[in-house]
A and B are shown apart, each in its own frame.
Chain A
Amino acid sequence: MYSSNEIIETINMISQQHLDVRTITLGISLFDCITDSKQRTCEKIYDKIMSKASNLVKIGNDISGELGVPIVNKRISVSPISLISAASKGHLEIIRTLDKIADETGIDFLGGYSALVHKAMTPYEKEFILSIPQALSTTNKICSSVNVATSKAGINMDAVALMGKIVKECAYLTKDNDSLACAKLVVFANAVEDNPFMAGAFLGTGEDDTVVNVGVSGPGVVKTALEKVDGDLTQVAECIKQTAFKITRVGQLVAKEASKRLNASFGIVDLSLAPTPVVGDSVAHILEEIGLESVGAYGTTACLAMLNDAVKKGGIMACSNVGGLSGAFIPVSEDAGMIKATEIGALNLEKLEAMTAVCSVGLDMIAIPGDTTPEVISGIIADEIAIGVVNTKTTAVRVIPVYGKKAGEYAEFGGLLGRAPIMDINKYSPAKFINRGGRIPAPLHSNKN
C-alpha cells in the first residue's frame, strides 16, 4: 500500500498539473494493401485500417476512464503512402480513402502521407510530393512528412529546394485559415519509424503489422516539482529525472494496456515533454523556473540540454521500450511561455535553431511572414536539417509562412496547435545556394569537433 501523499500527488498531477497521455498512436502497416489498381488498393487500405482501428477511440476512452488519466488524442500512423501507392499511382484516391477513415473512426489525426527521399527522389516520389499541398488543403486530419536527409546519406538538396515551394503552396491553398496546411507538414532529417507525434508520424518499413506507440506529456508536472527545489543544478537535474520517471510510467502502463486491447504489439513510449497552449503546460516555463528571466535568454540552450537529458534518463528506467522522438518539444505556437517570449522579443528564430541542437525535435510551429520566399524557407530547412545530420539526431522543420500577414501579427490555429506571433526573420537570399541542387555528402562520423 502507498501513502496518502503518493495518491494525492498522482491526483494533483492529473487534475492540476495537466499530466496526460498526449496520444495513443496505432501504427498500421499497409504493405499488404499494395496492388497495381488504384481502386483495389484503396479498398484494401479501407478494409485493413477499419478492421484494426474502428475501436481505437473507444478503447482509448475506456483506458482513460479506468486509470483516471486523460488520453488527449487517439491517432493512426500508416506506412509511407509514397511506397504504398507507387505501383498504382493512386495517391490522390488514397488521400480520399484516408480522409474517410479518419472521419469514420473519429480519430484526431492520421499520419503517413509521407515520402522518404533522403538520398534521391524517383520521378514518382516527386509527383507524390507535388500532391502534398492538395492533400493537406482538402482534408482536416491527414498529416504529411518528407524525410530529406540522413546522417548516412547526406542531404538531398533537390528535395530541400522542392519543399520550400511545397510549404509556400500549402500556405497559399489554405490562405483563408492562416495557412493551416503548413501545420500538418513536417520536413525531417533522420526521421524515426515509430514516432507517435504529429505531424511527423508514419509507420516505418522495419515495423510490425500493427503497433501501439504512446506519447506522454507533463511539462506542468516537471515545473511544479521544480518549484520546491532550492538546491544546485545537480539537484534540479535529479528532480527532473525522478519526475520524468513517474510521468513515463503512466505512458508505459497505457501503452501496454492499449496494445493488449487493440491486439497490437507494444511499440515504444516516446519520452517527450509536449506542451499545450493552456496555462501551466509549458516547456518554456520549466526553463524559466530553473532560473531564466525569459526563455531565449543566454543560458537557454544549456538549461534545455539538461532538461532534455534528465527527461530521457528518468524515462528510460521507467519504460521497457523507448523510441520515437523522445525529448522536450519546443513548438512556439503550442506553448504559452514561448509565445510570450516571442512577443517581448526575447526569443527569435536563431535562438530556437540553437535550442534544437540539444533537444527534440526542431523548428516547430513557427509562424513567419507570408511574403517569405521559397528559397528562404528552403534555407531555413537546410540549416535545421544540417544540425540533425551532423549531430546524428532527428531534426525537423514545421514553419508556417502565414499568407497575407506580416511580422508582429498573429496566426490563429486553435486547439492543440494554438496561436503564433509571426516572427521577423533574416531576409537575405540563399537562392543561389538552394538552386544549385544536388546532394550535400554525408558528414564524417569520426574526428568530431
Chain B
Amino acid sequence: MKAIVSVVGKDKKGIIAQVSSCLYDMSINIENISQTIMQDYFTMIMAVDTSDCSIKFDGIKQTLNALAEKMGLEIHIQLQSIFDSMHQIDTVKKGL
C-alpha cells in the first residue's frame, strides 16, 4: 500500500536517519522524500510503499508513534488515498 509519512518537530540531528532506519526495519520502501525547515520546525514528507512489510497498518503506526515519542516529534502515517482524494481532481482515473 502507498502511504505518506509526515514528520514534524523541533530540528535536531538524526531525524532522517532514525525515521528511515525504523522504516527499513519494517521493510518499508521510501519512494520519495522532501524536507524543509519552517520557523525552526523540521518538516519531512516521505512517500512510502508498505507492500513488502508484513506488519499490519496499525502495528506500523504504533512503531512510528513509539519512535515519535522517543524523539519528541510528531509522526503520522496515512494512506496516500486521502491526499489523492483531497488534492487531485481525477479520482476516477486513479480508481478511488
Contact = CB atoms under 8 A, between A and B. Distances in A.
Interface of A: 1-2, 4, 6-8, 10-11, 62, 65-69, 246, 249-250, 252-253, 256
B85 A249 contact: yes
Given A1-B32, A4-B45, A7-B45, A65 B61 contact: yes
Contacts of B18: none
B82 A250 contact: yes
B34 interface: yes
A225 B91 CA distance: 23
Given A11-B6, A246-B86, A67 B47 contact: no
A10 B57 contact: no
Given A4-B34, A4-B43, A253-B96, A66 B78 contact: yes
24 contacts: A1-B47, A2-B83, A2-B87, A2-B88, A4-B36, A4-B45, A6-B83, A7-B4, A7-B83, A8-B6, A8-B43, A11-B6, A11-B8, A65-B61, A67-B79, A67-B81, A68-B77, A68-B78, A249-B85, A249-B86, A249-B91, A250-B82, A252-B85, A256-B96
Contacts, number: 59
A246 B34 CA distance: 23
B85 A7 contact: no
Contacts of B79: 66-68
A7 B6 contact: yes
Interface in B24-50: 32, 34, 36, 43, 45, 47
A7 B79 CA distance: 12
Interface in B67-91: 76-79, 81-83, 85-88, 91
B52 interface: no
A253 B91 CA distance: 10
A272 B76 CA distance: 27
Q: Is the interface of A mostly helix, strand, loop or mixed?
A: helix
Interface of B: 4, 6, 8, 32, 34, 36, 43, 45, 47, 57-58, 61, 76-79, 81-83, 85-88, 91, 96
Given A7-B4, A250-B86, 17 more contacts: A1-B47, A2-B83, A2-B87, A4-B36, A6-B87, A7-B6, A10-B82, A11-B6, A66-B57, A66-B79, A67-B81, A68-B77, A246-B86, A246-B87, A249-B85, A249-B91, A253-B96
Nearest to B81: A253
B78 A250 contact: no
A252 B87 CA distance: 13
A252 B88 CA distance: 13
Nearest to A7: B45
Nearest to A247: B86
B85 A65 contact: no
A311 to B, nearest CB: 16
Contacts of B45: 4, 7
B57 A65 contact: yes
A11 B34 contact: no
B58 A253 contact: no
Given A1-B32, A68-B76, A10 B83 contact: yes
Indicate the member of B47, B57, B76, B77 with the most A CB atoms within 10 Å: B76
Indicate the member of B57, B83, B85 with the most A CB atoms within 10 Å: B85
A253 to B, nearest CB: 4
Contacts of B91: 249, 252
Nearest to A257: B81
B58 to A, nearest CB: 6
A7 B4 CA distance: 9
A253 B96 CA distance: 7
A62 B57 CA distance: 9
Contacts of B61: 65
Contacts of B77: 68
A320 B4 CA distance: 25
Contacts of B82: 10, 67-69, 250, 253
- What 6 pairs across the A-B complex have the smallest Cβ distances? A68-B78, A249-B85, A253-B85, A67-B82, A6-B87, A246-B86
A381 B8 CA distance: 51
Indicate the member of A4, A6, A7, A11 with the most B CB atoms within 10 Å: A7
A204 to B, nearest CB: 28
Nearest to B47: A1
A68 B43 CA distance: 18
Contacts of A252: 85, 91
Nearest to B35: A4
A281 to B, nearest CB: 19
Contacts of B34: 4
A393 B89 CA distance: 30
Contacts of B76: 11, 68
B82 to A, nearest CB: 5
